[in-house]
Amino acid sequence: MRDTCNYKLYFITNNVHKVEEVKLVAREYSICIEQAAAPKIEIQSNDLEPIAINAAIKAYSSLRKPVLVEDAGLFIESLNGFPGPYSSYVFKTIGIKGVIKLLNGIQDRRAYFKSVVVIIAPPAFIIEEGIVYGVIASQPRGNKGFGFDPIFIPEGLKHTFAELSIVEKNMYSHRAIAVRKAFTRLRDILKI
Q: Which residues bind ligand IMP (CB under 6 A)?
A: 15, 71-74, 87-88, 91, 113, 145-149, 161, 173, 175
Q: List the catalytic residue out of 3, 71, 149, 188.
A: 71
Name the nearest CA neighbour of 31 among 63, 9, 56, 59.
9
66/147 with CB nearer ligand IMP: 147
Query: CB 133 → ligand IMP: shortest distance, Å?
Result: 14
Cβ neighbours of 77 (radius 10 Å): 16
Strands 110-121 and 124-136: antiparallel
Residue 66 has, within 13 A of its CA and on its CB side, a CA count of 18
CB-nearest residue to ligand IMP: 147
Q: How far is CA 108 from the centre of its chain?
A: 24
Query: CB 2 → ligand IMP: shortest distance, Å?
Result: 27
121/164 with CB nearer ligand IMP: 164
Q: Is 176 exposed, middle or buried (0-12, 13-18, 19+ CB in 10 A)?
A: buried
Query: CB 39 → ligand IMP: shortest distance, Å?
Result: 13
45/88 with CB nearer ligand IMP: 88
Q: Is 71 a catalytic residue?
A: yes
User: How many Å apart are CA 159 and CA 139, to the nearest integer?
Assistant: 12
21/120 with CB nearer ligand IMP: 21
Query: CB 60 → ligand IMP: shortest distance, Å?
Result: 18
Any idea which residues carry the catalytic annotation?
Answer: 71
